[in-house]
Amino acid sequence: MNATRISALEEVLLAERERVLAEIAEFEREGQETLSDVSGENNYRDHMADQGSATFSRELDMTLEERARESLEQIERALARIAEGTYGVCVRCGDRIPEARLEAVPEAELCITCKEREESA
């Protein structure tokens, strides 16, 4: 893969990193706002169903935040591989990752064969 194409994918990764960071910040802000409601520290009595809904909603947000953080880690690793000059090389087997795969998933660190093996295990 040529330097121009890697640079373009780096820009995609940087933009995605900013989007994910904003998403995480929003989850953190919402988490602080709803923490007192979920913990029952509000000034009124909620119905049990309302408390259950609030708890479910917070747990869902926590799961989505965790996925966003995992995505951020993958993006950071891809940016590090670009800086090291190893971007586009499978971290497991050392084969080249097809450019079409990197176009679709710029943070990919495994070739298709290794990714399929990982998902079937």
Q: Report the candidate in 121, 17, 109 with the shortest Cα–Cα distance to residue 68.
A: 17
Weakest-pLDDT range from 35-39, 67-71, 113-117: 35-39
- Domains of the chain, by residue range, sit at 3-85
Q: 48: helix, coil or strand?
A: helix
Helix (H) or strand (E) holding 104: helix 99-104
- In this predicted model, which residue has the larger pLDDT, 19 or 35? 19
Q: How confident is the model over 47-84, as pLDDT tens digits?
A: 666 666 666 677 777 888 899 999 999 999 999 999 99
For 70, residues 6+ apart whose C-beta sits below 8 A from its C-beta are: none
Which residue in the block uniquely carries the two structure tokens 């050392």?
94
C-alpha–C-alpha distance, residues 88 and 104, integer Å: 13
